[in-house]
Structure formats: C-alpha cells, structure tokens
Structure 1
Amino acid sequence: MNIGEAARLSGLSAKMIRHYETQGLVASRRLENGYRDYAAPDIAVLRFIRHARDLAFPLEDVRRLLALWRDRNRASADVRRIALDHVAALEAKAEAMQRMAHSLRHLAAHCHGDGRPDCPILEELERQA
C-alpha cells in the first residue's frame, strides 16, 4: 500500500511516517516508480510508534521499545524499566510545570490588570533576563 493508505491506517501523517523512516524506526520498500510500499506488518509498527508517542515516549525510548517488542526472548523487566523511567520523567516535568503555574498565578494576582503601565509580570520577566 502507498504512504497515504499507510497514514490513514496508522493514524500518522505521511510526513511523520517519512520522519520515522529517516530515523530508522520503520522501513519501506520502494516500487520501481520510487514510491514507498507498506505491508500489514509495517502498519503494526507505525501504530506501535504512534501509541508510544501518544504516551510521550522520546524517540530513543521508542527505538528501544520497538527492539524489545520485536525480540520474543525479551525480559519484561527491561520494558518495565523503560516505562517506569518515563513515568519518573513525566512526573518531574509535571512538578516543574506546577511550579511554573504557581509562579505565574502569583504574578498575575499581583498585577492590577488595569490601564496602568506598571506590571509585576513584566518586571519579573525583566529581572530573570
């Protein structure tokens, strides 16, 4: 099937499929006319990648998970380790975002939000520059 059909079936855009191909995550065969050709197993790989990316796994982790998925002799502990490391990274990002939101909420609470030019939000941004 062509890249358009692969995109439709996998839920990815053709552009992302090309990107994942250049990253070595998926391979396509080339027809005589140079068009990419995908088979059902390729769609399964593309769906796997899409699901992993939906969970915000970085590309290097997707690469590792794909290798483990393809390895029927894998240890589930290896998969679990990748997943839990990713959970820890997500939780750290969430905490950092909560701190940012708290800071912005504090600054916004001290901004009069009227026609005056003084603004603690801009003053804080200037101080951090």
Structure 2
Amino acid sequence: MKTQFTIGKLATATGVNIETIRYYERAGLIAPPARTDGNYRTYGEADITRLRFVKRTRDLGFTLEQVRALLGLSDQRERDCGTIDAMVIEHLAEVDRKIADLTALRRELADAVASCEGGTVAECRILETFSPTVGS
C-alpha cells in the first residue's frame, strides 16, 4: 500500500505552507489530489517530489510560468536539455541585471548618507539628494 499524506503532512515534508499548496493546485503546478471518503486531500511521494521541485525553483526566483515550463520539460525525459539551459541562462542574465540595479541603488544611497553633515531637517543633505532639481 502506498503512503498517503494529508495536506498538513505534505506542508511539513516540503516546507510549503498549506495555502501555497492550494494555490499551486489551482495554478496547475501540482495535480489535484486524491480525496478520502470524508473529502480530505491525500498526497503521495510523487506529490512531495514535485512540490519540492516547485518550491526550489520558486526559491531560485523563477516565475510560475517558468516553473510550469520546467515541469513540462522535466516530464519529457528523452528530450534534449537545450531548452532548459536557455531558460536558466536567460534567468541568470535577469539576476545579473537585478544585481547591477541593486549595486547602483546601493551606491546612490551610500553617497546620500556620505553627504550628511548633521544639522536640522531643513538643512538635510540626504533629503536634498532625493528631491528632483527644479528645471530638469
């Protein structure tokens, strides 16, 4: 007999909260579960594996659509993995763009803090750096 898990046990086993599991079901990332006679959801080992995959890819910043595509590709075991490589390379490039944006933001904020000479709010150099210059 196969081991069956309640949604609570699935949540504990995967680190995904119950509402998120229900959301992933509605989004089609995990299959609708079997139901007991009392209409409780039941899950098996395959559901744990799939949900862990979804959680990990989401933790890595992939969108729901990207996760859906990766899941679809993972079901095609004999297919060339070039499509997956391309998806991950594109995602990595987006991560690099975000890092560059955050680095520029950090530099700008650090410069604002460095411009602070103390004093009153009326003389605040930090607030001046946040205000657009009139006429620009």
- TM-score, length of structure 2 as denominator length: 0.85
Q: Structure 1: which 5+ runs fail to align?
A: none
Residue deviations 1:71-126 (CA, integer Å, cap 9, x gap): 113221011011101000000000000000000011111022x3411223323333
Amino acid at match of 2:131: E
1:5 aligns with 2:9: yes
Select 2:78's aligned residue among 73, 81, 85: 73
Task: Give the count of matched residue pairs.
Answer: 127
Select 1:21's aligned residue among 5, 8, 25: 25
Question: Matched residues in 2 for 1:56 and 1:100: separation?
Answer: 20
Question: Matched residues in 2 for 1:95 and 1:67: separation?
Answer: 31
- TM-score, length of structure 1 as denominator length: 0.90
Moved more, 26-35 or 90-99: 26-35
Q: Which residue of 2 aligns with 1:60?
A: 65
Seq. identity, %: 35
Structure with a larger share of its residues in helix: 1
Question: Matched residues in 2 for 1:23 and 1:64: separation?
Answer: 13
- Report the structure number with the largest CA radius of gyration: 2
